[in-house]
Amino acid sequence: MKLTFLSSIVAAFLATSAAAIPLNKRAEMCGQWDTTSAGPYTVYNNLWGEGSATSGSQCTSVNSIDGNVLSWSTSWSWAGGQYNVKSYANAELKFDAVKLSSVSSIPFQWSWSYSGSNIVADVAFDLWTSTANTSDFEIEIMVWLAAIGGAGPIGDSVGTFSYGGYTWNLHKGNNGSNDVYSFVATEQIKSIKSDLLPFFKHLIDSGYISSSQYLRAVQAGTEPFLGSNAKLVTSSYSVSVN
C-alpha cells in the first residue's frame, strides 16, 4: 500500500517510539507448555509436574520488558502430592552455549515478592551444563534465593558456601536423570544484585564439575509444591553471560 508523506512520518515515529516503551502486560499463559518471548528472554508457564497434584492451576504473565530488564509474575494454587514439584514458571535467557572456562561473569539482579496461603515453594535459578554444546543437559545447578514453608532440595548437604554477604548450604543429589547441585540460601533474599559465576567456580574448585562443561541454560523462577492463591511477582530481573 502506498503511504502519503505524512503517513510515512507517523509510521516511522510509532516504530521508533514502540522500541523505547516498556511492553504492556500480555495475556496470561495458562497452558501446560505455554511460552512467550520478551526481549532476550523466553518466559515459560511450564507445568511439568502438574500430574502429581490432586487439584490446581497456574497462569504466568509478562508485565513489562525494558531493554534486558524484565518484570513478570505467576499465580497458582496446588493441592496434593506434597513432596512433588508441580511446575517451574521461569524466565530463560537466550544465549549461545559457552564453555565455563570462557565465561568471565554472569551478572544478574532480581527483586521479587510472594503472597498467598500455606505456600511451600522455592525461588531459584536453574542452570544447566553439558559436555558438548549440542548434547542433552547433563548437570543441573540450582541457586535458591528462598526456601519457603519447608521446601527442600534434592540430595544431602555436602558443605556451605559464603558469598556476597550470604551463606548457602550446598546439597548434592540426583533427579533420576541428572546430577543436581543446589545452593540454598540460609535466609530469604528478596532483592539481590550479584554474579552467578562464583557458584560454578566453587563447584569446579571442589571437584564436582569440570570447567570444560558448556553452560547451556540460565533460568530464574519458582518451583511450587503446595499452596493456595499464591503469586510470585518479579518486579525487576536481568541477567547476562559474558
Q: Quote the distance between the C-alpha of residue 49 and its chain's center.
A: 16
pLDDT at 17: 38
pLDDT of residue 135: 78
pLDDT at position 82 is: 95
> Tell me, what's the pLDDT at 8?
40
Q: Which residues are catalytic?
A: 140, 223
Helix (H) or strand (E) run with residue 17 in it:
helix 5-20
* pLDDT for position 194: 98
Q: Is residue 226 part of a domain?
A: yes
| Per-residue exposure over 15-51, b if at least 16 CB sit within 10 Å of its own CB, e if not | eeeeeeeeeeebebbeeeebebebbbbebbbbbebbe
In a domain, 3, yes or no: no
Tell me the residue range of the domain where 95 lies: 26-239
Strand partners, 141: 127, 181
Residue 177 lies in a domain: yes
In the chain, the number of structural domains is 1
User: Are the beta carbons of 100 and 183 closer than 8 angstroms?
Assistant: no
Residue 212 lies in a domain: yes
Residue 19 pLDDT: 39
* 113 located within any domain: yes
pLDDT of 103 reads: 98
61: domain CATH number is 2.60.120.180
Q: Looking at residue 7, what is its pLDDT?
A: 39
Classify residue 217: in a domain, yes or no.
yes
| Burial (CB count within 10 angstroms: exposed 0-12, middle 13-18, buried 19+), residue 111 | middle
User: What is the rounded CA–CA span in Å between residue 43 and residue 86?
Assistant: 17
Q: Is there a domain that residue 200 lies in? A: yes
**pLDDT, tens digit only, all 242 positions of the chain:** 333 333 343 344 344 433 333 455 566 899 999 999 999 999 999 999 999 999 999 999 999 999 999 999 999 999 999 999 999 999 999 999 999 999 999 999 999 999 999 999 999 999 999 999 987 899 999 999 999 999 999 999 999 999 999 999 999 999 999 999 999 999 999 999 999 999 999 999 999 999 999 999 999 999 999 999 999 999 999 999 99
- Phi, psi dihedrals of residue 103, rounded to the nearest 5°: -85, 130
| DSSP type of residue 2 | P
Grid coordinates given for 145 = 534465593
**135 in a structural domain:** yes
